[in-house]
Structure 1
């Protein structure tokens, strides 16, 4: 599925703007977390919504990074930093699981679509085009031939059904 390039301009619809803000905010926090883990950097992000609400992200935590760069003496609490680091790792693990689950769900949807396409015998024949009806007819003939062959293999040689008996078996199995 290709991504559509969205022009960079203010979204006029407030509901769409809020949805976009929420999605992009989580995306930028995720990328910041990945950057922090991969590069061992200290990161602080403060984002204000249009309603003025502040959302923050920091690694190892927001207070540590902000205090450090405001020339305030920083007292590192190893337990808090470690707890924050573990929380961040758990968060990233959950995000990876969520991405994997989304991919799995998409695969299941594709498989379900394929499964429905395979159930040609359940389709309404009045809705089929002429070429589809011919394909359907050919499929039924092939199915009938396979059933007769299997019946011949399973029945003793003196009880081999002829084509009329096979048709009767088919018609009763479809009726029941």
Structure 2
């Protein structure tokens, strides 16, 4: 049986002014996030100092700097050069940011693992919680033993009531 694609997938759009105001705002927001992500990747991959200012269609300013605004702006204003102290500070800052990013990545990986583990445990728990709804023929040995214990406890509780 052939399954056909239900969507057109990623499509190219014409690069022209977006007339609808709400579409313009949504596009700006998405593209700004992508632009900042690329700037971050460039700074990480190439150890480049990056400074980026963007103003939204409403005039709200957004910025991205790596390692931080001060060294990037001072370096830009001084024509690209920096004194030795500033270079050392930038190198230290860049190294520290890289270390922190690596820590964040590791923590993110651990979080992803724990989320996956939680899903697996939820699935196991869901199966175990509803064992009593399954036909007896479908229960495994452990579930049958749980059913017998449950029934005996229920029987005992009922006898106590009468």
TM-score (norm 2): 0.58
Aligned-pair distance for 1:95? Answer: 2.0
Q: Max radius of gyration: which structure?
A: 1
Matching of residues 1-176 of structure 1 within 5 Å: 5=10, 7=12, 12=23, 14=25, 17-18=28-29, 20-21=31-32, 23-37=33-47, 43-50=49-56, 51=59, 53=61, 55=63, 57=65, 61-62=71-72, 63-68=74-79, 74=81, 76-119=82-125, 120-123=127-130, 133-134=134-135, 137-140=137-140, 142-143=141-142, 167=148, 169-172=149-152
Q: CA RMSD in A?
A: 3.9
Aligned-pair distance for 1:171? Answer: 2.8
Aligned-pair distance for 1:110? Answer: 1.2
Change (3 A) 1:67 1:44: farther
SS at match of 2:78: helix
Q: Distance in 2 between matches of 1:59 and 1:15?
A: 28
Aligned-pair distance for 1:44? Answer: 4.3
- Where structure 1 has 5 or more consecutive residues not aligned to the other structure, the ranges are 127-132, 148-165
Change (3 A) 1:109 1:137: farther
- Where structure 2 has 5 or more consecutive residues not aligned to the other structure, the ranges are 1-8, 158-162
Equivalent residues, number: 136
